[in-house]
Amino acid sequence: MEEVWAAVNQDRRRTIHDLCAEDGIGYGSCQRILTEQLNMHRIAAKFVPRVLTQDQKDSRVAICHELKETVINDPTLLLNVITGDENIVYAYDPETKLQSSQWKSPASPRPKKARMQKSKLKTMFICFFDQEGIVHREFVPPGMMVNADFYCDVLRLRENVRRKGPQKWQNQKLIIHHDNASDHRSFQVSQFLAKNSMTVVPHPPYSPDLAPCDFFLFPKLKLWMKGQRFDTTEEIQEESQWVLDTIPKRDFQGCFQAWQKRWDRCIRGKGEYFEGDGGI
């Protein structure tokens, strides 16, 4: 155990295969040492935006319990949920792959993100999807910030829902999920949601590991875009839209199933961040 601990402490991005080759032990034995004796697990730094306080961990657990209970009482709820967020898509310069996930114990410091060389080209886009696929997407004009006014305009996606999924409009209500960005929580947006009978699914603060866009849609998009060369933002946008159009319906359905598994994982982990076990 001491040899494994020393090797991991030297480089937390080492895989189990690396440790087995270095220390001359079997894969299963190494895995048991890491997970059972050292109480460690793999986690991606991108899912660790901050060191959580106990109150924030408790909030994550409480909201996951609330979501589980809501779905138990209404198994069809997630069929009507539309989830979305905004994100920046960069044109990365072709570089070798960097291992960003690493081993972490409860006492470990916050993981450091692996850096990739970004080009100067980038574009921000906003996307909403449900279990059927993409409901709404649009690119933010260059130089414009996503503030409350802009986000209210985006939330008029209900017209897209009326056209693409009329069954979701039968009760004149929409169920929206988004994270706790400042523009999402503004008084202006809250008023708009209430006025238009749009219910919001609760989401705990600082929880990208519980946000479908962050653990499913954006990684899938960026994985395809990584290493490609683009000369204009228009090319990035065209490629992004093509990738979104090629995601099959079963993947969107799998995302919502993975979302529920992540609630369970968060509850079992007492609110700690995690990666894997529920991703797709």
Are 70 and 177 in contact, with CB atoms under 8 Å apart? Answer: no
Phi, psi of 31 (to 5 degrees): -65, -40
The pTM (predicted TM-score) of the whole model is 0.72
3-state secondary structure of 70: helix
pLDDT score, position 174:
80
Average pLDDT over residues 172-184: 86
pLDDT in tens, 130-139: 999 998 899 9
pLDDT score, position 97:
43
What CATH number was assigned to the domain covering residues 50-99+112-268?
A: 3.30.420.10
Average pLDDT over residues 114-122: 57
What is the chain's mean pLDDT, rounded? 81
Report residue 241's pLDDT band, with 50, 70 and 90 as the boundaries: very high
Answer with the residue of higher pLDDT: 208 or 50. 208
Looking up tokens 């929580």 gives 185
Report residue 51's pLDDT band, with 50, 70 and 90 as the boundaries: confident
116 has pLDDT over 50:
no
Q: For the chain, what percent of residues have pLDDT higher than 70?
A: 75
Domain ranges of the chain: 2-38, 50-99+112-268
190 has pLDDT over 90:
yes
Ranked by mean pLDDT, the top range of 170-179, 192-201, 271-280 is: 192-201
Handedness of CA 62, 68, 73, 75 (dihedral sign): positive
The whole-angstrom separation of Cα 103 and Cα 135 is 37
151 has pLDDT over 50:
yes
